[in-house]
Amino acid sequence: MLQTSFIRENKELVIERLKKRNFDGKEIIYQILKLDDDRKANQQQLDENLAAANQFAKQIGELHKSGKQEEANLLKEQTVELKEISNTLKEEQNSIAENLQQLLYRVPNIPNEIVPAGKCADDNEIVFEEGSIPKLIENALPHWELAKKYNLIDFELGVKVTGAGFPFYIGQGARLQRALINFFLDQARDAGYTEILPPLMVNEASGYGTGQLPDKEGQMYHAPIDDFYLIPTAEVPLTNMFRDVIVKKEDFPIKVTGYTPCFRREAGSYGKEVRGLNRLHQFDKVEIVQIQHPAESYATLDTMVEHVKGLLQKLELPYRVLKLCGGDLGFTSALTYDMEVFSAAQVKWLEVSSVSNFETFQANRLKCRYKDENGKMQLVHTLNGSALALPRILAALLENNQAKEGIKIPKALVAYTGFDLIK
């Protein structure tokens, strides 16, 4: 959520930058400013009324003390009208505030100036590429066939027990999954992140805090009896740890990491894009989150990108880094890099990580602040990234490393799996 004060001071810039997302913000920005004016004017009137009422109350109190009941009663009558006006103004104020809030929720974050123009994923800019695309053996199989052949994952069983998109990992498949989680967590810890094991369900306030609500309500599983949401990413609990928190500036940067399953309804996706591990309703992911001083956040974003690149190198996967264009940028993000690995049998790039700087967009909703040099409260910057999402990594590992004798495990992982070949 953008700050009203920022919108006011940078009206033209905001409208201009939002165009990069193909978001026509002109009308809504003017509505917001108009409502904010109304809010101020109304608040002023309300305050004056309340001040007058407070004066009366004080006088009545003094009259009571000195035993002048009649005079006190006279004054009481005078407060009736004042009270009615105050009530009306208060109602108006609430309604204005609510409307303003709803409008603010609808405005996405403004893209950083280096975000390339573009309409969709095709317009993303490839900024880095590394690793060579492997030459596969004859009769190479896609990962869902490999998973079946080596009995690593049972998709049909998942359908029976839960539904499509909830696979069972079995034997070496399950162990490989666990190995990846531990590997990623250890790597994050080595990079200075504190490991967190957070709740997998969050309340409504947390959904608002990171921006899943009110817009992407349909993407989350909801448990209505207790009004909890299953997390679509560890970002939600890990970032909401800092909701309503005043961070000490010497604590910057705050770095946390966590492994969680992620639950996504993925309403409206189907077809071959969701084949195998490409898109699941439940999947595992290790997330990294940082809370940072605004002046440092973009340097931090770079270090997070480097961290993820390091993971992909160690897994010996060919990958590329994309700078997302305005049209593909998430609602809450100011700048996002996506990492994609090449899945050789499917012959396509799969997104395995997304690293973003949200600047103050989340912090404003979270009320996560620090005191600056002048003792003034300022919003922090929040950042996060996947490091990494497991299913597509697994897909690429299986496909790229298939050989006649089995599937080879990258060296870095062998210490974690306890085996170097899936047979």
Q: Which of residues 331-370 bind RNA (CB under 7 A)?
A: 369
Output 51 or 295, the one with its CB closest to RNA. 51
Output 53 or 140, the one with its CB closest to RNA. 53
Q: Is 199 in the site for RNA (CB under 7 A)?
A: no
Q: Is 223 in the site for RNA (CB under 7 A)?
A: no
Applying CB under 7 A, which of residues 9, 16, 24, 48 lies at the interface with RNA? 48
Q: Is 47 in the site for RNA (CB under 7 A)?
A: yes
Say if residue 388 is preceded by a cis peptide, omega within 30 of 0: yes
Output 199 or 218, the one with its CB closest to RNA. 199
Output 96 or 396, the one with its CB closest to RNA. 96
For residue 107, give Cα distances in angstroms to 4, 26, 154, 211.
11, 11, 42, 11
The stretch near RNA (CB under 7 A) out of 53-61, 107-115, 171-179, 395-403 is 53-61
Q: Is 10 in the site for RNA (CB under 7 A)?
A: no
Among the listed residues 310, 304, 309, the one whose alpha carbon sits nearest the alpha carbon of residue 358: 304
| 3-state secondary structure labels for all residues of 135-180 | CCCCCCCCHHHHHHHCCCEEHHHHHHHCCCCCCEECCHHHHHHHHH
Q: Given the DSSP bridges, would you call strands 348-357 and 381-389 parallel, antiparallel or unpaired?
A: antiparallel
Q: Is 249 in the site for RNA (CB under 7 A)?
A: no
Applying CB under 7 A, which of residues 56, 168, 221, 416 lies at the interface with RNA? 56
Q: Given the DSSP bridges, would you call strands 194-196 and 254-263 parallel, antiparallel or unpaired?
A: parallel
Applying CB under 7 A, which of residues 24, 34, 57, 411 lies at the interface with RNA? 57
Q: Is 60 in the site for RNA (CB under 7 A)?
A: yes
Q: Is 58 in the site for RNA (CB under 7 A)?
A: yes
Q: What CA–CA distance (Å, rounded) separates 170 from 150?
A: 10
Round the CA-based radius of gyration of the chain to a whole number and report it. 27
Applying CB under 7 A, which of residues 67, 224, 271, 375 lies at the interface with RNA? 375
Q: Which of residues 85-144 bind RNA (CB under 7 A)?
A: 94
Q: How far is the CB of 93 from RNA (least distance, A)?
A: 9
Q: What CA–CA distance (Å, rounded) separates 214 from 377?
A: 26
Please give the size of the binding site for RNA, defined by CB under 7 A: 28
Q: How far is the CB of 266 from RNA (least distance, A)?
A: 29
Q: How far is the CB of 252 from RNA (least distance, A)?
A: 18
Q: How far is the CB of 1 from RNA (least distance, A)?
A: 13
For residue 22, give Cα distances in angstroms to 9, 120, 123, 420.
22, 10, 13, 48
Q: Is 271 in the site for RNA (CB under 7 A)?
A: no
Q: Is 50 in the site for RNA (CB under 7 A)?
A: yes
Q: What CA–CA distance (Å, rounded) separates 137 from 400?
A: 10
Instruction: Say if residues 294 and 311 touch (Cβ distance below 8 Å).
Output: no
Output 77 or 138, the one with its CB closest to RNA. 77
Q: Is 170 in the site for RNA (CB under 7 A)?
A: no
- List 30's β-bridge partners, or say none: none
Q: Is 415 in the site for RNA (CB under 7 A)?
A: no
Q: Is 67 in the site for RNA (CB under 7 A)?
A: no
Q: How far is the CB of 57 from RNA (least distance, A)?
A: 3
For residue 59, give Cα distances in angstroms to 47, 66, 69, 79, 408.
18, 11, 12, 11, 86
Q: Which residues contact 145 (CB under 8 A, 6 or more apart)?
A: none
- List 129's β-bridge partners, or say none: 320
Count of helices and strands (H, E) across the chain: 13, 19
Among the listed residues 392, 242, 227, the one whose alpha carbon sits nearest the alpha carbon of residue 317: 392
Q: Is 224 in the site for RNA (CB under 7 A)?
A: no
Interaction site with RNA (CB under 7 A): 5, 40, 43-44, 46-48, 50-51, 53-54, 56-58, 60-62, 64-65, 76, 79-80, 83, 94, 369, 371, 375, 377
